[in-house]
Each structure stands twice: as structure tokens, then as C-alpha cells.
Amino acid sequence: MAAKRIVKSSINWAQLAERVPEHQRSTYQAFKAKSDGYLRKVLAYPENPPTIDWSHYKAKVPVAGMVDDFQKQYSALKIPYPPDTVSSQIDALEKEIRADIEAFNKESNEDIAKYKKELDHLNSLLPYSEMTMEDFKDAHPDIALDPVNRPTFWPHDGTDDLENERRIGSDH
């Protein structure tokens, strides 16, 4: 099997650059420069090795049969291309990661729908500058002041609950 000639990078650098965070931009650019350097070095070499003019060497070398022997050995020489043993592992990992990405996208879309619903609810409310205390209590019953069921006192940070008042009163 002959090796396939690399003519350009198979990486979509523009798409990859969009995903690189700003604080890693210089590292990305150094990596891309190194990759481009390797590609230029590979492309600097010819696709096939230069042909040897065996007749020229036969005329110059005085030992009979030596050039023929070299020619026979050279034509028999086959340098094996390394077998691809990791592509299947990478493909399996890619499928696994794609499943994780799909699950993440599904969760994200559910969250987006939930947040859009909350945003629509907030947009349907009166502006806070126009609300009365009753409107606020209707809109946010969980955080609105409820002096009957949940009385609080200044500074309204939980140190004013009745149990705390009883402990302080019994200590003094």
C-alpha cells in the first residue's frame, strides 16, 4: 500500500480558532505555526524519490555486476508505511464524545426553554418601578415580606427568628 500524499492540512483552523478562549490564543497560534512548519517541510520534499540513472553508474564503475546488484537491491527495497492502529480507537472515542455532546445539548436546550419561560414570565410582570407591595407579593410570594406568616426584623438576615430571640433572652 502506497502512502497517500499530504497536500494540505485536514484541520479546519478557522473553525478551531473560533473555539479557542482569548487567554489561550497565543498558545493556539504557536501550535498552528508549528503545525504549518511541519506541513511546509513535508511539502518541500518531492512526492517520489528522484530516479537513478543506472546506465551512468554502469559506465563509471569498473567492477562488473556491482551496479546491477545495487539496482536489483534498490528495486527490491520496499519501505513499509506504518499501519494505522489508532483510527478505530479515535473513531470510538469520537462516537462516545458525540453522545456526551448530544446529551449536553439536550440538557442545555431544556435549560434554555426553562429560562425563556422564566424570562417571559418576568417580562409579563409590571416594571418594578410601577409595582406596589401587593403586586410584588403576588409576583414573588417566596421572597416578599409577609408580616403575618414570616415576620422579620431589621437587619432581616435570619438572626431575628423567634428561636434565636428565646435563646438570647434565656442567656441573659
pLDDT tens sequence across 25-66: 999 999 999 998 988 888 888 888 888 899 998 898 888 889
The DSSP symbol for 146 reads B
pTM of the complete model beyond 0.75: no
Q: Tell me which DSSP letter residue 65 carries.
A: T
Contacts of residue 39, defined as CB under 8 A and 6 or more positions apart, other chains included, come to 6, 8, 9
d(CA 23, CA 26): 8
Residue 160 has pLDDT above 70, yes or no: no
Sign of CA dihedral 11, 13, 19, 20: positive
**In the chain, domain spans:** 7-46, 92-124, 132-172
